[in-house]
Amino acid sequence: MSDTLQIKSVPISRRDSFNTRDKQTRELKPFYSGDIKILLLENISQKAVDILNKAGYQVEFHTKALDKDALIEKIKDVHVVGIRSKTKLTQEVLSHANKLIAIGCFCIGTNQVDLTYAASRGICVFNSPFSNSRSVAELVIAEIILLARQLGDRSREMHDGVWNKVSNNCYEIRGKTLGIIGYGHIGTQLGVLAESLGMHVIWYDILPLMPIGMSTAVESLDEVLAEADFVSCHVPETPETKNMIGARELALMKPGSYLINASRGTVVDIDALAASLKSGHLAGAAVDVYPKEPLANGPGFESPLRNCPNTLLTPHIGGSTEEAQRMIGIEVATAATKFVNTGASINAVNFAECDLRAIPSTDRTTVRIVNVHQNVPGVLRQINNILADYNVNKQISDSKGDVAYFMADVTVENSKDINTIYEHVTAIGENIITRVLF
């Protein structure tokens, strides 16, 4: 570590810093940023690769998920791993990640990561909860129209050489009722699109939310099921949503209605849905997610829903558009880069959200101390005792569950003092990870 710190400056913005008197702000980076290694799996957007390369990191890119043994071997030596939905970062896998400080989930869900264990290891997890909302909503609209006109079956018949021109049980969607379960970012966009096509929109959510457009909130899940012609699920995977739509709920749906699931594969009881389709109680269904999904493209997909009448099956492609993947790539790669370079944990899934205003470019002696520690009494006192001999310009600390996060900007005149601070903080018994950024 050199006694002379090489400091770069970047233009300041109101979003990046409250210090509007200074036209430039310091660009923070970890020591030896060229040694930061990034592992990207599952064909993550090139935009994300570009952002991470521009940051000066070593980026290893794979188009597919790795099997568990290969993943364990690869993850031993990387600081950030980027995944989508197929890679499972379990406690067993993460226990081998000796250098890992961040995980980027380039998707909405984070159920493929053991979030609690990751936090206990000081590993911050980011995702992209909003970027693919429009893509999923558009897919659902398309599926509503396809189901109403039985286009999936007609297309398959034509490919088999069968001409079957029918109008029986084929409908316009204008004037029909769409019931949305989960009125979040996807649910609200879906409601707006559906209303523009002349549908009536009702929805149910466990949180009190403001309706958009002419949509109407109802008081229970059962009410949505009983009133809607089309029911679309948009909820996260939690213990409460597992098999949320089972045999009982399907029986409550109107005869001749349709079910769409583009949320999580555990939300709908697949066997019960298949039975309801085959009996004719439901007129059709569209399913994009499954309880168990293949790790790679190719043959071998099995499901009770195969060959059910008027049933659209898609391979988890709700957010698989060029636009969505590009936006997800930008959002997650930017968040991971900011965390590595500045310690900012804004929009983290499993960490307290902390950030400090930018350091002015005129300040050449301030370094940032970033610390993750066990959330127990006395740790902050120990850290502040270590920093007592230095000028602490600003600091912030917050906690989430059993893990606390601390950031401080400290005036340090030479690299020996930086080493001293680092060694003393890491020696605290409750320390999980300590980093120094300059």
Query: Among residues 253, 270, 256, which one has the least CA distance to residue 181?
Result: 253
217 by Cβ neighbours in 10 Å (0-12 / 13-18 / 19+) ranks as middle
Number of Cα atoms under 13 Å in the Cβ half of residue 366: 24
What distance in Å separates the CA atoms of residue 126 and residue 105, rounded to the nearest whole number? 6
What is Dmax (Cα atoms) for the chain? 85
Contacts of 98 (CB under 8 A, 6+ apart): 76, 77
What distance in Å separates the CA atoms of residue 239 and residue 267, rounded to the nearest whole number? 10
Q: What angle do CA 166, 167, 169 make, to 5 degrees?
A: 115
Q: Which of 316, 368, 373, 435 is catalytic?
A: 316
Secondary structure letter of residue 208 according to DSSP: -
Tokens representing residue 419 in the block: 């080493």
264 catalytically annotated:
yes
Query: Among residues 140, 244, 251, which one has the least CA distance to residue 194?
Result: 140
What distance in Å separates the CA atoms of residue 139 and residue 288, rounded to the nearest whole number? 10
CA separation, residue 8 to residues 200, 362, 401, 418 (Å): 55, 11, 36, 19
Long-range Cβ pairs for the range 173-177 (8 Å, 24+): 173/144, 173/145, 173/148, 173/197, 173/198, 173/199, 173/230, 174/198, 174/199, 175/199, 175/200, 176/148, 176/200, 176/229, 176/230, 177/201, 177/202, 177/227, 177/228, 177/229, 177/230
What distance in Å separates the CA atoms of residue 292 and residue 310, rounded to the nearest whole number? 22
219 catalytically annotated:
no
Backbone angles phi, psi at 94, to 5 degrees: -70, -25
Q: Which of 121, 154, 264, 368 is catalytic?
A: 264
The secondary structure of 342-366, three-state, reads HCCCCCECCCCCCCCCCCECCCCCE
316 catalytically annotated:
yes
What distance in Å separates the CA atoms of residue 239 and residue 438, rounded to the nearest whole number? 43
Contacts of 94 (CB under 8 A, 6+ apart): 75, 100, 114, 117, 118, 121, 123
Q: Which of 172, 293, 353, 423 is catalytic?
A: 293
Active-site positions read 264, 293, 316
